[in-house]
Structure 1
Amino acid sequence: MKKCHIAYLACTAALLGTGLGAAPPVAEHTTHPVHVVHPGESIQKAVDAAQPGDTVLLTFGTYHQSVDISTPGLTLRGMGRGTVLEPAAGTGTGATTPSTGSGAAKTPKTPKTAKAPKAQNSCAAAGNGICVVGTKDHNVDGVTLASLTVTGFTKNGVYATNADGLTVRKVTAVKNGVWGIATEHSVHGVYRDNTARDNGDAGLFLANSVKEEMGATDTYGTVVEHNRLQGNRIGVTVRRLRNLTVARNHLTDNCAAVFVVGDENKPKAGFVTVRENRIEHNNKSCPKTARLDALQGSGIVLTGAEDSLVTENVITDNVGKSPLSGGIVLFKSFVGTTSDRNRISDNQLRDNSPADLVNTDTGKGNTFEGNSCRSSKPAGLC
């Protein structure tokens, strides 16, 4: 037996010596390159040179430019909040007033003075900071944006359309004219650990489309979680979407915290879960727009939505005199569509006005159960 063991060891040693029994070395081509960009250098040039799976790393500092991304699997990453994208001179500067509280805003005209390269110009001229753009026939897949700040853009800090599996994490979107972080026609998204503050409309805006009339679309499990949303018109807007979760976010000092918005098209917005969020003091006052009444003191609003769950949220001190004010509000949409079969359960509500729970909807099958609250309209919902 001892001879056999010695022979086995000798054979193994021989294999290792020839390299046949050892793990093969990692070839250089199996590691995706990192393209490092410094302030003053072109982000777009690095993005255009990158292949699927590569990372474009932005070092600490301020970049006066915008960038278009259409390469699948690309990661655009900064080094924290100190990596800052701001508009270049003559592109995307100034402020716009959103034309609707649920998202539609006019796209600024292309500045005649902009002389950026064509690839970069489409995003910058539209007033956006970072654009992730696919097409109706071919989504851009698996893009990640992380650890940077986008601020001061006329329209949106981050804008994505026709994106599949987009991840946005640890992005700070501050003082952009319309939306901090916005998506259309996108699925399987993850929006985590971001800060959206003092943007003109929603801090986070997710929609099927802002230009087309169409029914709500399935996001296939998009997740919005662990974000801080402060000082915006609306913290999170979910417009005409289905199968989406908004969880464990902190929303404060907005005019309204969470909006789930449907309309007359079929299917309705629905199957949205809003859970375990901390929603407090969303008492900023915002004026009426073409599509939405004045806003103040709204915690969670469902309007024209169906089969959604609002649960285990802590909602306090949201006070206002808008028709949409209150802790959790079910509201018949402005185009007359009811909210149906929504379940409002196990939430903790306190000191919201005109009431902790408000139901002015005429929809069927909505239930209120297990909520800890003191006041409701109509009475008896607590």
Structure 2
Amino acid sequence: MCTDKVPIAIGPCRPLCERVQMKCEPLLKEFGFPWPVSMNCSKFPPENNHDAMCMKGPASDEDVPVANEEPELEPNENSFTAVRCTQPSTVYMNRTAQCVPLCHSNHGYTKEDRECASTALFIMSLLCTALTSVCLLTLCTRRECLVALPELSLLFCSISFALSALVYLFSLLYREQISCMDYTSKSIFVVAGVQHIPCTTAAILLYYFGTTGRLWWFVLCCTWNKHTQRSQQNSQINLWAFVRCRIWLCVSGSALANDHSVVSSGMLGSVYPMAAAFLLLSSLQYVLSPAISGWNTVTAIKLLADPLLGVLASGGCLFQILYNMFNASRSPLVDKHGYQPALPHIPQPPLPTTTYSIGRHPEQRPLC
């Protein structure tokens, strides 16, 4: 404080400085700034007396040592934190104003549920990647097996979901580096509102490859009917109609697990009624029983949607490649239009001749 009655500035008392440091230092550390050296509380006098003048500041009941205070809690939010952060394995984050679970905590799931989910995701992702690799290796040797647009759409769809499966595999192998971050010397889960480059990169790749795969599903469903009507018989058309129905059910049942916005869910529900019903049942389950969490059918569908679609796409692509190779190796007389017999060769009798006579000497001349 500066006043015209005193030639020098009047600083704070040591208790006031310590209270300010107790409140402000955690916030400065959160943004990576140290406590200023000029605000070292040991330089200020402990009390205001005749030897040294200082400002006591407003009266406060928070005369507690700094070491007894939680570094990530603000004193005016103790009551809020005590109500929200009831679990011991959570840490209150000032930046997001919410309780964040520790990285090694169960977070409402049992150890068996987490292991089951990780195992299922690893198996489906590995199977999708393996089938797509087999399709690509087979296609490198027989490039003429896939030439039509629906067949190429099936191949591109399987490649997109295979790349998405690779991201899932990396997320499982490097789980702590992607989904965890350090905060006040503790490892916590990455939540919305904080910047974490590995987690953001993985989320962007999953969203991009998942959306690309679903778009190729859509192209496949739009073009396969015309392709089969031109090149297949009625029985084969009925067979692929059944396959297309399964494709539509799989596409409609898969929701964007990483995008929880209201706009995207509404657009998805307007295009796919089955997806809207699935999201409605999932929301009702959470509203009716919010405390129930675990590895159930709804959670499995949300988690394994992309790997499952990738397995179906790569399996269908491999089947189509083998089917085209089988048709190419068949006899040329038996094609997809059926057996076409050649015209029979029947010997014809000789044409009749006519005799012309001039005078007494007859002469035979052919008619043609």
Higher strand share: 1
- Confirm or deny a common fold (TM above 0.5): no
TM-score tier by shorter-chain length is under 0.3
Q: Which has the higher helix share?
A: 2
TM-score (normalised: structure 1): 0.20
| RCO comparison, higher one (Cα < 8 Å, 6+) | 2
